[in-house]
Structure 1
Amino acid sequence: MRALLAAAALAALLASTATAAAATPPPVVMLVMDEFSAPSLEGADGALSAKRFPNLADFAKSATWYPRASTSGDLTMRAVPSLLSGNAVELPSQAQRNLYSMLRPTHRLIRFEGYSVLDSLCSFCAAPPKPAMRLGGVMIRGVDEQATSVRGTLGAIRELRRKTSRPPLWTAHVVLPHAPYRFLPDGDQVLQTTLSRNPGVGDDKAWGPEPHLPVLSQQRFLLQAAYTDRLIGELKRDLIRGGWWDKAIVIIAADHGSSFHPNTHRRFISEESFSDIANVPLLIKYPGQSSAVVDRGSAQLIDVLPTVASVTGSPLGGPSDGLDLTGPRPQRDVRIYGGHGLGWISKSWDQFTAQRQMEVDEWNARFPGNVAATWIGPRASLRGRRVRDLAVKSSSRASARIEMADGWRDVKPGSGWIPVLVGAVLKGVPAGSPLVASLNGRIVTSGYSYRNGNRTEATLLLPASKLHRGHNQVRLLLADGSLTQLAATR
């Protein structure tokens, strides 16, 4: 019923702007994020969480949010061509009729960033070729690292300020908040240790049995996603400056999600990870829209093209697997093409929404408030305690070699690099042991030791707000009932 009411409200809005659109089609703006776990968007109250994503929440105040939206592939090379073509494709070559060919007669592409699997889909790109590199077997153009991707996207957003003779078609694919999780919300990058960039994930990209490491990764994902959220704010501000905001259809989406559960693959779809991977962010600000609409009905990335066709008055030029999101839609099964030979996997609408709700509830249980300040490990009663006020034993057998410890000798907030990761190789400490870390004499975080190959390691996340400018001191303590200071080794 709520989905029908949302569709009716949207239809009334679009009817009021249809005459103007017929004369001059609206600008089309689309930002596609990468590997974004959509259940993290929804707060415990069912609203888009302004605590975690203030800019997306602000965007949603004058947009339509589809919280149950789904992708059609667990790999970018299938998900994005499906998004652009309106058809659930197995190969990028099957997406020759697409957003770019449809809007070519009426719009001007003023910027294009993304994967080269899309280059053949965009035969009229105005932007010159960019340097390229291979990432996971896919050639990337304009993106050699996440930071380069962000800088390029911010530059592309600023191009929206300039006027064009025809309405613009602006698209970008930013490789965020895709792992590795290197950014903090303010844009500073995490000084990486020499240990694994994603502890707990094996060479096969699957999570091991340790339950705490996916939770640590969830927290780091949220911090990087908060930085990604800033791009949404930049996009809206420059659309307003350029005079496009009220006129444009603005689409915020992601290609696929990511899973954070032990003994599941981080990226490949399975029965256990289905809603983690399938559920994706999708928000659309329609021309003239100025109030929030939440549409909990069936929505898929393949619906974007027929929706844009409807709003711009453009002919689709062929059949589409997708449906126009501005009209009523049935509850559809969710079908995902799994990479690496998995083929098509599907769940009924009721199965998908029930599993997704479980994920939403789990995110909110783990991160109810400020993400950076959330204590995710053991011994929460020790938080903020002075080490000198506690009974602490010393040990000659248990030791910790903290990686890149020199990073705390001269911390410079705002320099672009912050040493918030504590990575250590442990001796005399069994795997699965609870640990706490002190920063400048106070306990600020905790975690567990884990096995990585033939050695025991630990990775803990310091709250960046507790680091001082200049010299900082970090210590690790074993917290298995009593507290034992781990001897520092090099």
Structure 2
Amino acid sequence: MSRVILPPSTPPRFAPPSEEDDGATDEPGTLAKTGAMPLWKMAGILLGLGAVSIGQPLLDLLGQNPEFFIAHSLQSSGIVVLMIGVLLLPLLLLIPVWLARLVSPTFGGAVFLITVALLVALLAANAIGRLPLTGVWVIVLSVGVGVGVGLLFMASDTMRSVFAFLTPAPLLVAALFVWFTPTSEVLFGEISPDGIAVTGVENPVPVVLMVFDEFPVASIIDAEGNLLTETFPNLADLADDGVWYRNAVGVRQQTEEAIPTILSGIAADEGSIPVASDHPRSLFTMLSATYDVDAVETVTDLCPHDVCGGTTRSVAPIRRRWTGIGIDVGVVYAHVVTPDDLDGFLPRIDGNWGDFGAAGAPPNGVEQADGDFNIIERFLEGVEDDRRQEMPRFLDTFDQDDDARPPLRVGHFLLPHHPWSYLPDGRVHGSGGAPGADGTGWGPDEWLNEQGRQRHLLQVAYTDSVIGDAMAGLEELGIYEDALIVVVADHGITIREEIPHQRIIYPDTVGSIAAVPLFVKYPDDWEEAPEPGTIDDVRAETTDIVPTIAGVLGVDVPWETDGLSLLDPARSERTESTMVGTGGPVTFGVDGGEKLEVARGMAEWFPTGDPYELLPDRSFADLVGTTPDVAESDEVRLSLDQEETLADLDGDSEPWPSFLAGWLVVEGGVVPDDALVAILVNDRVETVTRVYRTEGDSARFQAFIDPDLLNNGANDVEAVMVGTLSEPGPPVR
């Protein structure tokens, strides 16, 4: 029987194509040849190209901002895991390529080239975006570069070889991130209190330091500088029991620098990281040998783990935390590659250290939930994003029955920091962002800006109640009378028309940013304490707190501080103070007049400090409290967003509809920009508001009413039009 001998160059017809040829033609420049590349080569190219187009810009930005990792409670191992995940992320792009290859090498080649073109376009966008071009041109040119390089990749063996040289790029990017960014301090920094801790405390009284955030002293005083005692009764009680340092200022604008400054007495260096390794000298380490030390830290990690046990931060379950981190990293990278003039749809990242996905990017005047500067939610994931749980958690740290040492407790509370979510009694009102907000600052409409201040004041009133809870809790623990208690804020906030940034210190925002509350209750039986109820108007600075604590305890601070004891007469020799902010240092005098200027402006809208007394014009105060006749109109129509909730209100429900919003429509007409709306509860006028965001025959309005006006079940709440600011009129519905 004869045999057919096939030529050696001819593969058997039943032999499967190898990964090398996979049915590809030897003709250079074909999709099939590209698709027949070994998968390991494709993986190397994607890893290298992804490292320079995604990994390097993203890790460089995050590496320069280690606060991101601190806010997400990431220790060294977590940071390394995140870095590896970012660098390996491009491998996911190999999945559609592999699936396409199962169909045919040509299809696989096409998908791989599209992937290469996409990564090249992202790399090009990062570079071209720095040129003075519009966003559209940046996109067009970046896509063009991506397509062009992709075609060259298909047509040229040389280009494919060039791309192969990028394979080691992930290692280089990782090395730059680990060793040459500020995050290296978080990765490798260690601190021991040895040599810093003091011994032989002469007066070992309990020490309680509570730091509040974004809290200007101007929000709690009247035009003459007197404490608004009816609105803030707990602060008034604290002032009666101790000393109110009415002329106190912070010296660092940024929280990440202000908190270490308060805890060390040393003005923090610009760009320093709020971790123990960057700030080894602190109240925590100074008293670690003689005190039972614990803390609640929300955005810092300043208490060394061998002192506080690594339990000062509230940490969410691992799946929830990493989901949030993944979302935030994606938002950050989107900002990296999106042209500045086209990134308005992205959540903002300029005021947060996390939870960017929840921050949103609302246009001016649009209501939103938990909008700007949403620094809070990610920080408080462990308590389900609820800042109301922070003080109970703080008081729980005192439960150390087996420790005979006196307690040192430090709490940093993100109150009254925005988002401004709470009513004075702690219920959520659900108003979302203030309509006057304009990016990082405030727009030109003073009325809308004051509606923002109203939210702020409501939350300040809630902060007052939290301070009251702390005082009551310390009383119950039996340590209030004996304790040294310090209540202070890190910085304030500016609410004023056409301010470009509400958190930056400028020469004309000293009164709202630098001037902060500072109250000290000295131990009751300490003979050197000032008379309770003293108001001290000598300039005090936040660097003075640690020297003051040391003085009361009878120890020397084992390092040189920038501050003085609040009991040191030398404070009166100060002639100026300086706050360092992101816009540079601002130096100002010591008379404290700046805060009074802010308070006078606030008093024009809130004469007694009551957050519910806001009106578009004080002349409408006569209308509030009346029960007017309301005329019917075929042209005017008003509706409330909360009508359904108000019809059957559950006393335990949140948000509580103390915040009301709705639409005013004038059929066949135009709503005037200064149209006024009165809110009636049980036919009685409770407040008057002005419309905004007018759109022809319709406009939005919003207002707050006292929550105690509402009851369980059905509530009779109505909005009626009462003319305009220029021409007030009788109520119509």
Relative to the length of structure 1, the TM-score reads: 0.84
What residue is the counterpart of 2:489 in the other structure?
254
Cα deviation per residue 1:274-294 (whole Å; 9 max; x = unaligned)? 211111111111223572221
Q: Which has the higher contact order (CA 8 A, sep 6+)?
A: 1
Cα deviation per residue 1:153-198 (whole Å; 9 max; x = unaligned)? 2232144365432111101111111122222222222133xxx522
What residue is the counterpart of 2:456 in the other structure?
221
Larger radius of gyration: 2
Structure 1 pair 334–32 and aligned structure 2 pair: CA distance change class (3 A): same
- Report the alpha carbon displacement of residue 336 of structure 1 after superposing the two structures with TM: 1.7
User: Amino acid of the residue matched to residue 534 of structure 2?
Assistant: V
Q: Distance in 2 between matches of 1:285 and 1:142?
A: 29
Question: Which of the residues 676, 679, 699 maps onto 1:434?
Answer: 676
Question: Which of the residues 293, 296, 300 maps onto 1:109?
Answer: 293
Q: Is the 8 A contact 2:279 2:302 kept in 1?
A: no
Structure 1 residue 443 corresponds to structure 2 residue 690: no
- Report the alpha carbon displacement of residue 431 of structure 1 after superposing the two structures with TM: 2.5
Q: Is the 8 A contact 1:181 1:220 kept in 2?
A: yes
Question: Which of the residues 551, 554, 577 maps onto 1:310?
Answer: 551
Structure 1 pair 355–406 and aligned structure 2 pair: CA distance change class (3 A): same
Deviating more after overlay: 205-214 vs 375-384 = 375-384
What residue is the counterpart of 1:282 in the other structure?
518
Question: Which of the residues 73, 81, 84 maps onto 2:263?
Answer: 84
Question: Which of the residues 480, 487, 511 maps onto 1:245?
Answer: 480
Deviating more after overlay: 433-442 vs 277-286 = 433-442
What residue is the counterpart of 2:700 in the other structure?
457
Cα deviation per residue 1:374-397 (whole Å; 9 max; x = unaligned)? 24233333223334x24x35243x
- Report the alpha carbon displacement of residue 400 of structure 1 after superposing the two structures with TM: 4.5
* Higher share of residues assigned strand: 1
Equivalent positions of 1:155-194 (< 5 A) are: 155-160=393-398, 162-163=400-401, 164-192=403-431
Structure 1 residue 361 corresponds to structure 2 residue 577: no
User: Amino acid of the residue matched to residue 117 of structure 1?
Assistant: T
Cα deviation per residue 1:241-271 (whole Å; 9 max; x = unaligned)? 3232233211101111112211123222223
Structure 1 residue 143 corresponds to structure 2 residue 326: no
Q: Distance in 2 between matches of 1:416 and 1:100?
A: 38
What residue is the counterpart of 2:244 in the other structure?
65
Q: Distance in 2 between matches of 1:294 and 1:159?
A: 31
Deviating more after overlay: 363-372 vs 311-320 = 363-372
Cα deviation per residue 1:387-437 (whole Å; 9 max; x = unaligned)? 4x24x35243x5445334322122234545410112234453233333222
Equivalent positions of 1:120-135 (< 5 A) are: 123-126=306-309, 128=311, 130-131=314-315
Q: Distance in 2 between matches of 1:98 and 1:394?
A: 67
Q: Is the 8 A contact 1:52 1:222 kept in 2?
A: no
- Report the alpha carbon displacement of residue 327 of structure 1 after superposing the two structures with TM: 0.8
Deviating more after overlay: 476-485 vs 281-290 = 476-485
Q: Distance in 1 between matches of 2:440 and 2:722?
A: 29
User: Amino acid of the residue matched to residue 584 of structure 2?
Assistant: G
What residue is the counterpart of 1:10 in the other structure?
none
SS at match of 2:410: strand
Structure 1 residue 40 corresponds to structure 2 residue 219: yes
* Higher share of residues assigned helix: 2
Q: Distance in 2 between matches of 1:249 and 1:453?
A: 57
Deviating more after overlay: 300-309 vs 377-386 = 377-386
Q: Distance in 2 between matches of 1:423 and 1:200?
A: 15
SS at match of 1:284: strand
Q: Distance in 1 between matches of 2:472 and 2:621?
A: 40
- Report the alpha carbon displacement of residue 143 of structure 1 after superposing the two structures with TM: 1.5
Q: Distance in 1 between matches of 2:553 and 2:695?
A: 56
What residue is the counterpart of 2:284 in the other structure?
100
Q: 5+ residue gaps in structure 2?
A: 1-199, 326-350, 355-374
Equivalent positions of 1:5-24 (< 5 A) are: 22-24=201-203
SS at match of 2:677: strand
What residue is the counterpart of 2:719 in the other structure?
475
What residue is the counterpart of 1:51 in the other structure?
230
Q: Distance in 1 between matches of 2:508 and 2:693?
A: 24
Structure 1 pair 43–484 and aligned structure 2 pair: CA distance change class (3 A): closer
What residue is the counterpart of 1:422 in the other structure?
660
- Report the alpha carbon displacement of residue 331 of structure 1 after superposing the two structures with TM: 2.7
Q: Is the 8 A contact 1:65 1:284 kept in 2?
A: yes
Question: Which of the residues 334, 349, 352 maps onto 2:590?
Answer: 349
Q: Distance in 1 between matches of 2:419 and 2:535?
A: 31
Structure 1 pair 146–211 and aligned structure 2 pair: CA distance change class (3 A): farther
Question: Which of the residues 440, 443, 460 maps onto 1:205?
Answer: 440
Q: Is the 8 A contact 2:298 2:314 kept in 1?
A: no
User: Amino acid of the residue matched to residue 380 of structure 2?
Assistant: V
Q: 5+ residue gaps in structure 1?
A: 1-20
Structure 1 pair 287–468 and aligned structure 2 pair: CA distance change class (3 A): closer
- Report the alpha carbon displacement of residue 273 of structure 1 after superposing the two structures with TM: 2.0
Deviating more after overlay: 124-133 vs 161-170 = 124-133
Structure 1 residue 118 corresponds to structure 2 residue 360: no
SS at match of 2:471: helix
- Report the alpha carbon displacement of residue 62 of structure 1 after superposing the two structures with TM: 1.7
Q: Is the 8 A contact 1:101 1:122 kept in 2?
A: no
Q: Distance in 2 between matches of 1:260 and 1:308?
A: 33
What residue is the counterpart of 1:9 in the other structure?
none
Structure 1 pair 108–435 and aligned structure 2 pair: CA distance change class (3 A): same
Structure 1 pair 272–423 and aligned structure 2 pair: CA distance change class (3 A): farther
Structure 1 residue 292 corresponds to structure 2 residue 533: yes
Q: Is the 8 A contact 1:100 1:122 kept in 2?
A: no
Provide the identity percentage.
28
Cα deviation per residue 1:218-243 (whole Å; 9 max; x = unaligned)? 33322222221122222222223323
Structure 1 residue 271 corresponds to structure 2 residue 507: yes
User: Amino acid of the residue matched to residue 87 of structure 1?
Assistant: I
What residue is the counterpart of 1:27 in the other structure?
206
Q: Distance in 1 between matches of 2:384 and 2:689?
A: 27
Q: Is the 8 A contact 1:109 1:126 kept in 2?
A: no
Structure 1 residue 338 corresponds to structure 2 residue 581: yes
Q: Distance in 1 between matches of 2:462 and 2:468?
A: 10
User: Amino acid of the residue matched to residue 466 of structure 1?
Assistant: L
SS at match of 1:117: coil
What residue is the counterpart of 2:144 in the other structure?
none
Q: Distance in 2 between matches of 1:406 and 1:482?
A: 29
Q: Distance in 2 between matches of 1:246 and 1:279?
A: 28
RMSD of aligned Cα (Å): 2.9
User: How many residues get paired?
Assistant: 454
Deviating more after overlay: 215-224 vs 255-264 = 215-224
Q: Is the 8 A contact 2:436 2:445 kept in 1?
A: yes
Deviating more after overlay: 254-263 vs 404-413 = 404-413
